[in-house]
Structure 1
Amino acid sequence: MRLLIFLIIVVPAAEISVLLLSGKTIGFIPTISFIILTGVIGAWLAKRQGLQAIKRVQEQISYGEPPGDALLDGLCVLAGGIFLLAPGFITDFTGFFLLIPAGRNIVKPLLLKIIRKMIDRNQITIYR
């Protein structure tokens, strides 16, 4: 619940502050242009990385391996694409961070730890 309140209130307020500061610093047109440019580049990168993640999942399944790492990559790419949909520099940075492989390698162990805690608390059930 606290995370939801954070996402709904704090993140948009911070985004508006950064956008206003950027508009004052570099101007209105460059700010809007930069937001559009990051959106276009982000959409292209999300599509590319998402297709690669799907391909890795399919390959691992076809070899009889569990696609755990590839699924976490796909989850990060999905979250990165969603962050890039929101206009603003903070969410764009977060989205790009989740789309590049080096950023995902930092986030995936944290996600795995969260998922394991949820499994231990019986919040997630895994059927085999």
Structure 2
Amino acid sequence: MFRILFFLIVVISAVEITLFVWIGNAFNVWVVLFGIILTGVLGAFLARQQGVGTLNRARFELANGRAPTEEILDGIAILVGAVLLFTPGFVTDTIGFLLLIPQTRKPVKVWIRKILSEMFRKGSIHVFRNF
């Protein structure tokens, strides 16, 4: 897992630098800087809006005696999306925005659910309950 993560970080960084240079040459440096700042500000606004909505839905589910499973998955996706939006780069910003928009977040939630169920099946995750 560490090797895959390391490889992804190196590849994504190289792609981001290439895009910065290409866009900087095609337009100018100010367009690149403005794009980085704009996506950061828009991402912060969207992450806050989605995060507060998810938190309110989780509170509602808990108040009605239900486990907020969907809201937990939404919260994970929103957190990862917000972190990616604060990372300078257009590729990471695109992935971050996709994680913050509810319609495009659904396939990611299905993927996370599949990974977690596989981990439960293999016994990689243990649930401890106090009764």
Q: Could you say which TM-score interval applies, normalised by the shorter chain?
A: over 0.9
Gapped regions of structure 1 (runs ≥ 5): none
Cα-to-partner distance string for 1:58-114 (whole Å, 9 max, x where unaligned) = 111111111111110111000000001100000000000000001111211011001
Once the two structures are superposed, the pairs formed by residues 45-124 of structure 1 within 5 Å of their partners are 45-124=46-125
TM-score, normalised to structure 1's length? 0.94
| Segment drifting more, 79-88 vs 115-124 | 115-124
SS in structure 2 at match of 1:79: helix
Structure 2, unaligned runs of 5 or more: none
Distance 2:6 2:100 in 1: 25
The aligned amino acid for 1:4 is: L
Letter aligned with residue 125 of structure 1: H
- Please give the secondary structure, in 2, of the residue aligned with 1:125: coil
Give 4+ residue runs of structure 1 displaced > 2 Å after superposition. none
- Matches of 2:128 and 2:68 in 1, distance apart? 15
Aligned residue pair count: 128
Identical aligned pairs, as a percentage? 39
Alpha-carbon distance in structure 2 between the residues aligned to 1:98 and 1:19: 22
Code of the aligned partner of 1:52: G
State the superposition RMSD in angstroms: 1.1
Is 1:36 aligned to 2:34, yes or no?
A: no
TM-score, with length taken from structure 2? 0.92
SS in 2 for 1:87: coil
SS in 2 for 1:65: coil
